Chains A and B, each alone.
Chain A
Amino acid sequence: MTTLICAGGSGTRVLEAVLHLCAAGLGPSELRTFVIDPDGANGNVDKTRKLVNRYQECHEAFKTDNADGHPFFCTKVDLLNSAQGLRVWGPVDKTQKFKNLLNYTDLSPAQKDVVHLLLTDVELDMPMDVGFRGHPALGAAALALLPLYKDDPLWSQFAQAITSEVNERETRVVIVGSVFGGTGASAIHPLVRYLRSLPQTNREKLKVGAVALVPYFRFSASEAAAGGAHAQAGEAAKSEWFAPASRSAAEYYEHLRTQNDWDFDAMYWLGDDTPVRVDYCIGGPQQDNPAHFVDLLAACACLDFSASPPGARACYYSGPQETIDVPDGNILTWDDIPMCALNTDTVRKRLHHFQLVGAAHLGFYGPLLKDPRLLGSPHCVPWYFDRFADGTAQLSNKDNQERIDSLSTYFRENYFPWWDQIHSVGQDRTRLLNRTAWLDGDGSPLHIQLNRLGNLLYPDTVARHGLGPVDALFEEVVQSAAEVAGMTNPSRTYLSILSQAALKSVERENRGSIVRGA
């Protein structure tokens, strides 16, 4: 099993990306995950929590029970027996000031002097209601106390799971967070040290990777100053700190390497040279930064490590190309997604496959299943008539309708909006999928353009527009309905049929593009 520990807001957004990739069938068979964020009520955490719940719904509804089935939503997400969904752990009490965490008033004068050497008065008096606000010194101090939380339900369950797993098989843990903010920057190294202390036997079976994000977004300092009392008091995070903070982090980890104090099996450094501007927010529910392609790269790094941890115990980098003169600026294409264990073509094909399933479901098959004419004249839709119009396999009953609704909601509210955010970065910088496939005439999401079903990958090519692929996919669906084995519920069978048909279409399109390329 792979464990993904997400630290801070950036780490949480990476979890969002990982879940979308797992939905597309790129994830491990099981994924244990939780979030470390003292600001557990921030918008990103809330959004990810809802996404986890929706993913779980889809996993339960659509997980396949035979090898013939589709690959989607197959990753089982383990939330450490949480009944409330995604667990978000914070090392501080929201009602505390930071000095309370250190038990400052009971410290000796000498100890207080040491504290003042490391922390300012503003930091000591900082309320912990919205996290560490980009102050890694606070986070590092708080998370250095991690071993003291061994009786906390989350950490005790986690420690128990890891120690028992390493006795059976190789266990992989990935920690992801930014190194330029507060929580992520302060969590990575204390966490790795803690993890290494857990197994008493078979320590070599514990593989630990870290994904360190360097600046890829910014906000205006003047907006921060106008952001209220916290900002004026100098407590708020500032974009100007990001670069020096990243540099310090890099120097720190380099120091660990040179001193042979390197606990990582792999460390991935990811960032962007043109940070996207986001609205300033000190934290809380308003902190809801959009997804960025760096999140996607980080998610790919997590899954790459999960698939097969590299043995070199080295650092891996992904950033803008500096030596090649790119006329269009720094862009992201499929070839720019760094992979070691995974294969770029496989990832592209799988995402194309899932994209086609999503677009076809939202734009055609979902509405078809809701169409009252279908119940009256099911013979007009042979695949439905053959597989779902009869007896216990009816797709129209309440349970199956709810399952289909959860799939539609996932695509409509989570998956396509997330890709839209990924492709909104810069001007045409992300060149993975064809964004016009889900935009309406005014350029606003989400309206599936069926005439782009054959042009779901970048670029948007007029010659590939048209409704022919809708008809071709329908024919494939009819054919696949005769081939796909039945599952334990009709919704799973439906997704398997659509998946197999979409896969054939993608393969045909790929063959066509190879021929065109030749």
Chain B
Amino acid sequence: MGRLLFWMSKPDSGVPDSSWVGFLDLMAAMTALVTLVTVVITILCYSSAAGRRKVYVLDDLFASYTPMRWILLAIPAALLAGGLCFWRYEGALDSTEGRGGVALQIILLNGMVSAMIAYLLIILVHRFTPAKFRYRPAPYLHKRRVGSA
């Protein structure tokens, strides 16, 4: 599983290869779990927020589409993953060298992957978005049609 993090190289040459591989396995499993949980929670929260959103007056149609903000849930999830990485690094590798850099990569990876998967699911799976807001999650996809109108 550690091969998911194939681009990561050992920051400290003194760390045994077996320890590094074991650490990467742990980080990959944690990333997969955090991403999965984050995506599920994001989709549930998004779907609920979009479903609760009503059209009572004209302004409701043109107001910011706030349910999309649930994608930002990827940020705390990524910070959590980075924190776990930072915490487990020394215990797994008996070294602190390069700990910050590896944790930062885990933060970015978790954040981007969670946000991207959640966003793709929102725009590809129509049942998550009420029909009345169906074009709101990805307005840029419809700009060309708008431009030709």
**A interface residues (Cβ-Cβ under 8 A, vs B):** 364, 367-368, 371, 373, 375, 377-382, 385, 389-391, 394, 450, 467-468, 470-471, 474-475, 478-479
The answer on a CB contact under 8 Å between B135 and A470 is no
The answer on a CB contact under 8 Å between B132 and A478 is yes
The answer on a CB contact under 8 Å between B149 and A382 is no
Q: How far is the CB of A279 from chain B (nearest CB, A)?
A: 40
Known: A382-B134, A385-B145. 4 other contacts (CB 8 A): A368-B61, A377-B62, A382-B133, A471-B56
Q: Please, how many angstroms separate the alpha-carbon atoms of A385 and B142 in the complex?
A: 9
- Determine the residue in chain A with the shortest Cβ distance to B139: A379
Q: How far is the CB of A455 from chain B (nearest CB, A)?
A: 15
User: Top 4 A-B pairs ranked by shortest CB distance?
Assistant: A379-B135, A467-B56, A471-B54, A379-B142
* A-B interface contact total, Cβ < 8 Å: 62
Q: Which of B57, B62, B135, B146 contacts A382 (CB 8 A)?
A: B135
What is the total number of residues of chain B having a CB less than 8 Å from a CB of chain A? 20
Q: How far is the CB of A497 from chain B (nearest CB, A)?
A: 13
- Determine the residue in chain A with the shortest Cβ distance to B61: A380
Q: A389-B145, A389-B149, A394-B149 are contacts. A382–B132 as well, Cβ < 8 Å?
A: yes
Residue among B132, B134, B139, B145 with most chain A CB within 10 A:
B132
Q: Which of A367, A378, A468, A471 contacts B146 (CB 8 A)?
A: A378
> Does B55 sit within 8 A of A, measured CB to CB?
yes
Which B residues touch A390, using CB under 8 A? Answer: 145, 148-149
Q: How far is the CB of B56 from chain A (nearest CB, A)?
A: 4
Which A residues touch B142, using CB under 8 A? Answer: 379, 385
The answer on a CB contact under 8 Å between B146 and A364 is no
Q: How far is the CB of A380 from chain B (nearest CB, A)?
A: 5
Which B residues touch A378, using CB under 8 A? Answer: 146, 149
Which B residues touch A375, using CB under 8 A? Answer: 149
Main secondary structure of the interface of B (DSSP, over half): helix
> Does B125 sit within 8 A of A, measured CB to CB?
no
Q: How far is the CB of B131 from chain A (nearest CB, A)?
A: 5
Residue among A371, A380, A450 with most chain B CB within 10 A:
A380
Q: Please, how many angstroms separate the alpha-carbon atoms of A379 and B138 in the complex?
A: 9
Which B residues touch A450, using CB under 8 A? Answer: 56-57
- Determine the residue in chain A with the shortest Cβ distance to B149: A389
Which A residues touch B139, using CB under 8 A? Answer: 377, 379
Which A residues touch B62, using CB under 8 A? Answer: 371, 373, 377, 380
Which A residues touch B57, using CB under 8 A? Answer: 450, 467, 470
- Determine the residue in chain A with the shortest Cβ distance to B133: A382
Q: Please, how many angstroms separate the alpha-carbon atoms of A56 and B55 in the complex?
A: 34
**Residue contacts A-B, CB under 8 angstroms, 23 given:** A364-B58, A367-B58, A368-B58, A371-B62, A373-B62, A375-B149, A378-B146, A378-B149, A381-B61, A382-B131, A382-B134, A385-B135, A389-B145, A389-B146, A390-B149, A391-B149, A394-B149, A450-B57, A470-B55, A474-B55, A478-B132, A478-B134, A479-B131
Which B residues touch A471, using CB under 8 A? Answer: 54-56
Which B residues touch A368, using CB under 8 A? Answer: 58, 61
Q: How far is the CB of A199 from chain B (nearest CB, A)?
A: 57
Q: How far is the CB of A260 from chain B (nearest CB, A)?
A: 65
- Determine the residue in chain A with the shortest Cβ distance to B130: A475
Q: How far is the CB of A130 from chain B (nearest CB, A)?
A: 48
Q: Please, how many angstroms separate the alpha-carbon atoms of A378 and B135 in the complex?
A: 9
The answer on a CB contact under 8 Å between B145 and A380 is no
The answer on a CB contact under 8 Å between B58 and A467 is no
Q: How far is the CB of B138 from chain A (nearest CB, A)?
A: 9
- Determine the residue in chain B with the shortest Cβ distance to A469: B56
Which B residues touch A377, using CB under 8 A? Answer: 62, 139, 146
The answer on a CB contact under 8 Å between B149 and A379 is no
Which A residues touch B130, using CB under 8 A? Answer: 475
- Determine the residue in chain A with the shortest Cβ distance to B54: A471
Q: Please, how many angstroms separate the alpha-carbon atoms of A450 and B57 in the complex?
A: 9
- Determine the residue in chain A with the shortest Cβ distance to B56: A467
The answer on a CB contact under 8 Å between A380 and B135 is yes
Q: Please, how many angstroms separate the alpha-carbon atoms of A367 and B62 in the complex?
A: 14
Q: Please, how many angstroms separate the alpha-carbon atoms of A377 and B139 in the complex?
A: 9
Which B residues touch A474, using CB under 8 A? Answer: 55, 132
Q: How far is the CB of A100 from chain B (nearest CB, A)?
A: 62
The answer on a CB contact under 8 Å between A467 and B132 is no
Which A residues touch B55, using CB under 8 A? Answer: 470-471, 474
Q: Please, how many angstroms separate the alpha-carbon atoms of A371 and B56 in the complex?
A: 16
Chain B 114-148 interface 0/1 with A at a Cβ cutoff of 8 Å (1 = within): 00000000000000001111111001001001101
- Determine the residue in chain B with the shortest Cβ distance to A451: B56
Q: Please, how many angstroms separate the alpha-carbon atoms of A342 and B143 in the complex?
A: 50
- Determine the residue in chain B with the shortest Cβ distance to A394: B149
Chain B 40-64 interface 0/1 with A at a Cβ cutoff of 8 Å (1 = within): 0000000000000011111001100
The answer on a CB contact under 8 Å between B148 and A470 is no
Q: Which of A367, A379, A478 contacts B131 (CB 8 A)?
A: A478
Which B residues touch A468, using CB under 8 A? Answer: 54
Which A residues touch B149, using CB under 8 A? Answer: 375, 378, 389-391, 394
Q: A389-B145, A394-B149 are contacts. A470–B61 as well, Cβ < 8 Å?
A: no
- Determine the residue in chain B with the shortest Cβ distance to A467: B56
